[in-house]
Structures are given as structure tokens and as C-alpha cells.
Amino acid sequence: MDRTLQPNIQELDQFNILQPVRTTLPNGIPLAVINAGEQEVVRLDILFKGGRWQQSQKLQALFTNRMLREGSRKYAAPVIAEKLDYYGAWLELSSSADYSYITLYSLNKYFAETLDVLESIIKEPLFPEKELSTVLDTNIQQYLVNLSKVDFLAHRGLLKALYGEKHPCGQCVEEADYHAITPTVLREFYNRYYHSDNCHIFLSGKVTDDIIRRVETNFGTTPFGNTRQQSADPSYIIESISGKRVFIERDDAMQSAVKLGMATITRQHPDAHKLKVLVTLFGGYFGSRLMSNIREDKGYTYGISAGLMSYPDSSMLVISTETDNRYVEPLIQEVYNEIDKLQNTLVSPEELAMVRNYMLGEMCRNYESPFSLADAWIFIQTSGLDDTYFSRSLQAVKELTPQDIHVLAGRYLCKENLKEVIAGKKNP
């Protein structure tokens, strides 16, 4: 081997992602099993369809999920923490726009013990008032800290500008919303959405027949929760502001946060995969157009990015950075200059090849472990996509041409539609 010679770049020809084995438990819960990996570790994901989109007041979905670990009829909060720690397990609780997630990482040999704890916190949580008060106080303090960060303020401002206050994305949380959360509020959301008729289960890692049997015994034999509660997906009105720019003043800010955003196509659109390539080239990786110009050439910022954010009823393109207050205007102008270049000049085959290789490499890295495979298939489930999504994504990356990029830039990078939100100190 001659180490002075660069190895040839091998293009990815095929992209085979391990498919989950899908079954239905006796009580009707869909179960997806991804049996991969050599380590004696398993991950259990339990999903309930219900998040910010379904809540009747702000923060209801978040704290219903967060409080599951704070006490059940069988185990008090300290006992739950102690048992999970003793058996080397890890519990993650999170919620999104329209789903709530309970994720357990466990050693195979202690799965029965950790599953017993998990069953108790899901089926019989107490939402104790004392623990809730402590959790709320901690989150209020973090919220107050976030209010001093220009990036946080600009992000809130952009969502409000694009969606309006009648939409969940535009309904920004205030301190009073934390004080409105009570055990009764959380139980109401729990009773409505945490039941076996509203549930999906994913198992990944070194999954044995015994582990599947235990999951079926604990969660799949009989219905649990208030299965009579059936809720339709709500719809919301999107009301963008008429103006172009929003300024949020923060007198003590050393830098300004700049967010540019606009509504765009959803993941289900035929152009969605192609648009992802365009956005990556524009601002989605370290060698992107925005980074090369605004960071490397102009030195206006340490980092700038462009990305797509998806919600149940929409998606938005967001360009995000922080810069010195005096560079705000020239930075925004350079963003528009890069859009003009993409719309007026063909991308070179070499630059497109670099983006293509980067994205193919990211695909390989993202789907190489059993838990990342679980994330991928959970994404498919929660986004309402089909199993061809990954192959179609590979096809778009491999086949996109400079002419395609030119057409997509003209179609989806519309400067007139971009809202500009700046949070920081007003220049004299």
C-alpha cells in the first residue's frame, strides 16, 4: 500500500437499511423489532400519539411526559431513579409536535427488572404535586436563563412571524404558562392519550425471543389506559405577519442573532428529497456556500447554517447565525447574494459531487447501529412516510444534476418570502 496516494472515492451504489420485523401484539399494539448489534443491550421505545398539537394548554404534553418518572403507585421517584441506576439502565422522556416518547436502554440480563419499573410509570403514574413543583421551578429558571439568549429570542420571534399565535408553532411559552400546570392538567392529557389504542412499540439492539415475550406480557396482553378516548388530529390556521422584518431588542447583547425563514414544502412532497440536497449545498454542512462566504471569506460569524424544520402540517426553511451587531446588514445581504448565485449560475459538477459524497457518507453513518436504525424507522412512523423513503432519498442524492439545482433554487429559494428576525442590540 502506497500511503502517499489518496485512495479512490467509492460511490455508494446500494443503500440497504435493515427492515424491522413488524407484528401486532394481542391487545392491538403494533410492535417493530430491529434485531441487530452484538452487545447485550436492548432499547425499548414506546410512542403515544399526542404532543403540542393535541394539548389543551401550553406545556401540557411536555410535563405529562416529563413527570412519568416522578412517582407511580408502585414506586416513588427516588426508588425509580435508584432502580434504574442500580441495573445500569437509562430512561429518556421526550415529546414532539404530535408524539410523546418513552425510551428505555437496558442490559439484556436485567431487562425484566427495568421493564417492571417502566410498566409501572407508564400504566400508573401519580403526578405528585411536590415533585411537580420542583420540576416546574427548575424549568422556570432555565426558561428565564433562555430569555437572556438572543438565539432563543430570535427563534421564538421567527416562529411567531411565520405561523401566528393561533398556531402551535407561534404560541410562545411565557412564565405564567408554567404556573398554570397542575397535576389535574397532566392527568387530563395522560388519560386522553396514554393508552394501548394510541401506542406503538419499537425494540432494537440484541433482541431475544425472551425479551419479545416479556414486552408482550407487560404491555401487549390486555388493553391498558382509557382506550375509549379517541381524538382526531386538530387543524390550525397559519397567519404570517405582513412585514418583512422583526427586531427584538436586547440592550445588553454582545452579538445579534439573525434568523431568516419561510414556509416550504413538506416531507411528503415529490421534491422534498431534492430540496434537501439544495439546502445542504446552500448551508447544510461545513463546506456549504453560506459557510464558505460568510464565515471563511467575510469573517462575519463563527458559523451559519440553513436547514429544514418539519411539523405535522407544514415545513419551514431556516437560516440561522449570530454575528457582531455591526455585521447584521452585510451578513443578510450576503445570504441574498448566495441565493442569487444559485438561481443565476450553475453549480459546478465538482461542488455537487462533494455535497453528494458528504450526504452519502452521512447516510451510512446515520444507519450503521441498531439504535440509529430504530431512530430511522421511528422517524418513518411519526412522519407518516412509507418504507421507500430511504431508497428515494439515495436516488435523489445520486441523480440530482446542476440543472436540477438551478431549477430548485428558483422554485424554493424566494428572497421575497424570507422573514428576517434579528434579536440583539440596536445599532446607533
Cβ contact 255:324 at 8 Å: yes
**Neighbouring-strand partners of residue 256:** 323
Residue 232: the pLDDT is: 72
Among 35-39, 119-123, 131-135, 306-310, the minimum mean pLDDT is found in 35-39
Among 21-35, 136-150, 337-351, 355-369, the minimum mean pLDDT is found in 355-369
Q: Which three cell numbers mark 85?
A: 441506576
Q: What is the pLDDT averaged over residues 259-276?
A: 96
Residue 258 — very low, low, confident or very high, per pLDDT cuts 50/70/90? very high
Residue 363: the pLDDT is: 87
> Is the Cα torsion angle 49, 52, 53, 58 positive or negative in sign?
positive
pLDDT at 222 over 70: yes
3-class DSSP state of 321: strand
Question: Global pTM?
Answer: 0.92
Which H helix or E strand runs over 24?
A: strand 21-24
3-class DSSP state of 347: coil
Residue 404: the pLDDT is: 97
Q: What is the pLDDT averaged over residues 145-173?
A: 96
pLDDT at 10 over 80: no
**What Å distances lie between residue 151 and 191, 200, 320, CA to CA?**
36, 35, 9
Residue 428: the pLDDT is: 62
Residue 13 — very low, low, confident or very high, per pLDDT cuts 50/70/90? low
Of 151 and 9, the structure prediction assigns the larger pLDDT to 151
Residue 46: the pLDDT is: 98
> Per this entry, what is the length of the chain?
428
Q: What is the pLDDT averaged over residues 120-138?
A: 97
Domains 21-220 and 245-424 share a fold: yes
Q: What is the pLDDT averaged over residues 258-264?
A: 97
Rounded Cα distance between 412 and 352, Å, is 18
Share of the chain above pLDDT 70, in %: 97
pLDDT at 399 over 80: yes
Residue 367 — very low, low, confident or very high, per pLDDT cuts 50/70/90? confident
CA dihedral 126, 129, 134, 139 (to 10 degrees): 80
Residue 14: the pLDDT is: 67
Share of the chain above pLDDT 90, in %: 88
Residue 8: the pLDDT is: 77
For 245-424, CATH number?
A: 3.30.830.10
> Is the Cα torsion angle 312, 315, 320, 326 positive or negative in sign?
negative
Residue 365 — very low, low, confident or very high, per pLDDT cuts 50/70/90? confident
Boundaries of every domain in the chain: 21-220, 245-424
pLDDT at 296 over 90: yes
pLDDT at 11 over 80: no
Of 89 and 5, the structure prediction assigns the larger pLDDT to 89
Assigned CATH topology for domain 21-220: Cytochrome Bc1 Complex; Chain A, domain 1 (3.30.830)
**Neighbouring-strand partners of residue 263:** 316
pLDDT at 32 over 80: yes
Q: What is the pLDDT averaged over residues 155-165?
A: 96
pLDDT at 40 over 80: yes
Q: What is the pLDDT of residues 75-86, one digit of tens each?
A: 999 999 999 999
Among 9-23, 111-125, 248-262, the minimum mean pLDDT is found in 9-23
